[in-house]
Amino acid sequence: MSERDPQFLSVGTGDEARQIAYRHEPGTETAERPGVIWLSGFRSDMLGSKALEVARVAREAGNAVTRFDYSGHGESGGKFIDGTISRWLEETLAVFDRCCTGPTVIVGSSMGGWMALLLALARKSSGKVAGLVLIAPAPDFTEDLLWNAFPEEARRAIETKGVYEHPSDYSDEPDVYTRALIEDGRKNLLLGASIDPGCPVRILQGMEDQDVPWEHAMKLVSRLPVSDVTVTLVRDGDHRLSRMEDIMNRILPAIAEFGVG
């Protein structure tokens, strides 16, 4: 099935207004057959292989499915360099509130795992968060995995120039880290305290992940007080976990536990 053109949702006002591209396919949203929303990672978009396969399986089973691009990503408006965790969370909440009308499983990959946790906490009282599936989740990555690991020249560039560029393993264009991203990230840190999303959690983590070490996932587990938490460690898995065997044998079964697919 070819991709339909996205719809757009305006988020923010004045100079902060940006058009967020999203694709929502309605279905039945019940406790037994919840909808699903996909949250992409840093510099990823809703047309990635994992997002497409999750959407296909949900669609064919009659589950509602929602995907979108953060500002500065994919088909959405705005500039990537303006992105912060709070800004992208605002967009995540807006799409969730617009599209997810019933029980919904939140699936987050990498930075999307941080967004998934923040979304679940923000909408915990809504009764709509049916479960979390976190793929190589990267909560607090701006501090724990970037700032704390940056060499001195990187920190100096951010403090003096407001930006640091680093060659990307996934793109011809460098990764860009701004002072705003780092400083705003500190307002959204989660791993220093208990995190209670009020729903079951499934975590999938590659042990060969060079971006988000598997120990980071275990640190997250130690902060989750809910009893229904499981972790699947993939011995030869990398950060993306986008091999077909990872998608078919791990990601899809994880969401199927919640009635998706």
Question: Is 15 among the catalytic positions?
Answer: no
Q: Which one, of 142, 130, 137, 128, lies nearest residue 99 by Cα?
A: 128
What is the radius of gyration, based on Cα positions, of the chain? 17
Alpha-carbon dihedral 81, 205, 22, 13, rounded to 10 degrees: -40
Question: Is 166 among the catalytic positions?
Answer: no
Which residues touch 50 (CB under 8 Å, ≥6 apart)?
38, 109, 135, 240, 241, 242, 247, 251
Question: 73, 239, 242, 246: which one is catalytic?
Answer: 239
State in Å, rounded, how far the first CA of the chain is from the last one.
17
Contact 70, 91 (CB under 8 A): yes
Question: 144, 209, 211, 246: which one is catalytic?
Answer: 209
Question: 71, 109, 110, 242: which one is catalytic?
Answer: 110
Question: Is 110 among the catalytic positions?
Answer: yes
Sheet holding 229-234, edge to edge: 7-11, 18-25, 65-68, 35-39, 104-109, 129-135, 201-206, 229-234
Q: Which one, of 139, 145, 133, lies nearest residue 231 by Cα?
A: 133
CA distance linking residue 170 with residue 109, whole number of Å: 15
Contact 190, 223 (CB under 8 A): yes
Question: Which residues are known catalytic residues?
Answer: 110, 209, 239
